[in-house]
Every structure is written in C-alpha cells, then in structure tokens.
Amino acid sequence: MQTEFIMNHRIIARLDIKGPNLVKGIHLEGLRVLGKPEEFAYHYYKQGADEIIYHDAVASLYQRNSLLEIINRTAEAIFIPLTVGGGLRSIQDIQSVLRAGADKVSINTAAISNPDFISDAAKTFGSSTIVVAIEAIRQNDGSYLSYTDNGREYTGMEVQAWAKEVEERGAGEILLTSIDQEGTGNGFDEKLIQTVLPNVNIPVILHGGAGNPNHVLNIFKNEKADAIAIASMFHYGLINSNGAMGYHNEEGNVDFLKQQRSFKVFEYETIISLKKNLVDNGITVRY
C-alpha cells in the first residue's frame, strides 16, 4: 500500500540586515536598528524555526554583500537551513556565501536584469539552492508588478508572468513579498497570493503582513501555502518580552531601542506557541 506524503508547512524567520545590525522598517523602508542578527537567529533556532533568511537590506543599493562574517558565525551556532540574499550578482558571489555557511541563496535584482542568471545558478548549484525573491507592489489598476532594491526600483515586470518564468528557468523556490503589507502587521495580501500560488508548481514562501497568529493560520488554511516568512511579529515580540536582547551600543537609528518602547501592533507569539496553534487547527508543521 502506498503511503501518502504529508507536507510540513514551514515557519521561517526573516532577518533584514544593514551593516552588522538587524534592522526593521515598514514597506522595507525607514529601517530602525533592533540588535545583532546572530542573537535573534539563535533564539529563533532554539524556539523551533524551520529556516532562517538573512537579507542584506542595502546590498543592491550599494552593489555589495557584506554578510560573510555574520553568516559564518550564525552557521556555527544554528543547524537549520540558512538562506542569504542581497547583492548576489554572480556565480562567484553565490559560491562565497555558500562557502561561508549558507544553504540557499535568494536573488532578485540580478535575476531580473539577466534571467539567464537563474538558469546558470540552478545548473551550477542545483535548483534546491536557488530562491528567487519577488517584491510585489499593487498598481492602481489592481495588477502587481515586480520591483527590486527593497521595492525602490520599478521594473515593469508583471508578477504572475515573472513567477512562471522563474520556475521555468530552474529556481527551486520563490520568496514572495508584498511591499504594500510588509512591516504593517495588517495581514497578508491574499489577492497577490492568489495571483501567484495557483500558477506555479514550486514552493512559495509568503512574506509581508503577519501581525498575529490568525493571519498565519488563515493563509495556511485558505491559500495552501508552503511556507511563511515572518519578521516584525517575531522581532518586536521578542524585544517587547525581553528588552535585554536589544541594545548593544549599535550605530544607526537606535531610538526604538534606547527608548525601550513596545510595538503593540504585533502580538507576541513564540515560534513554539505559533506552531502549537497551527497543529491544534489541523496544520502540519515540524513540532
């Protein structure tokens, strides 16, 4: 008798990084410093995160990626898949972050500029290593276009068509971010999700909008998502409950940490309790 395979839905912690610091904003802008990414990543690993995503928030803007030391330190401390994105423009760039300890890479700007880069990277490192990030903004006519550089740069690329091409060129996963919802805690853009999910056959990681456990539960139940990447809900919740993790004399916009403010838009939910809630509601996860 053939046994049916049951997929575990993944809960992924996304950490945006600027220089040595974990940062967070709204719509990927107005970045405020929250602490050291390695500390947050380790905490999420111990809580039961299925994967970690590191994204250099200004790499494409400054045409560089400077995460190698952070990747190396993180890879020595956590033992779940680590995806790294931001400023990866060549096979050599990908090779460098994989050697530093990353398991997968996320590409966006370079993929849109040269779609063959997806095919070349997939052939060189295997499809399972290549994630293509799609940063989507809803237009006035209700359509969605892909952007680069954290939603700063217009490309004119229609999201649905681009997602299909990404799959055809050999990418193993798509990281789909709603720039409109990102950092707001107002929930996911379900129309965007419905634009992409039914039209591709590779896993899609949904990012942008999670503010409470019901947002996560509803997307897994209603949209048949493979994985959800969460940033603000985890970061602010962790700081609200344990301010000692925060301020280490970081440079940059540290007003939030200095003032020891809480961020009430986001409900505090540990990964453990979030997964328990999902299991109690019939969603399969690694728990």
Give one DSSP letter per residue of 220-284, joined into a string: HHHH--SEEEESHHHHHHHHHH-GGGT-SS--SS-HHHHTT---TTS----HHHHHHHHHHTT--
Question: Residue 133: CA atoms inside 13 Å, Cβ hemisphere, count?
Answer: 32
pLDDT of 65 > 70? The answer is no
Whether residue 250 lies in the annotated active site: no
**Residue 283 CB burial class (10 angstroms; 0-12, 13-18, ≥19):** middle
Confidence bin at 2 (pLDDT 50/70/90): very low
Q: From the candidates 38, 50, 56, 135, which is the catalytic residue?
A: 135
pLDDT of 144 > 80? The answer is yes
Q: From the candidates 16, 50, 93, 250, which is the catalytic residue?
A: 16
The reported pTM is 0.90
Q: How far apart are CA 259 and CA 175, in angstroms?
A: 33
Residue ranges per structural domain of the chain: 10-280
Q: Give the range among 12-21, 64-73, 154-163, 167-176 with minimum mean pLDDT.
A: 64-73
**What share of the chain has pLDDT > 70, as a percent?**
84
Instruction: Answer yes or no: are the C-beta atoms of 40 and 238 closer than 8 Å.
Output: yes
For residue 258, the Cα-to-chain-centroid distance in whole angstroms is 26
Q: Which fold has domain 10-280?
A: TIM Barrel (3.20.20)
Whether residue 16 lies in the annotated active site: yes
pLDDT of 137 > 80? The answer is yes
Predicted local distance difference test score (pLDDT) of residue 4: 43
Q: What is the pLDDT of residues 5-59, one digit of tens each?
A: 457 999 999 999 988 889 987 766 667 888 899 999 999 999 999 999 999 987 6
Q: What would the mean pLDDT of 129-148 be, rounded to a whole number?
A: 96
Q: What would the mean pLDDT of 74-81 be, rounded to a whole number?
A: 95
pLDDT of 257 > 80? The answer is no
Q: Give the range among 103-107, 115-119, 216-220, 265-269 with minimum mean pLDDT.
A: 265-269
Q: Which residues pair with 18 in a beta bridge?
A: 21
**Residue 225 CB burial class (10 angstroms; 0-12, 13-18, ≥19):** buried
Phi-psi region of 33 (alpha: psi -120 to 50; beta: other; left: phi over 0): beta
Q: What would the mean pLDDT of 139-147 be, rounded to a whole number?
A: 95
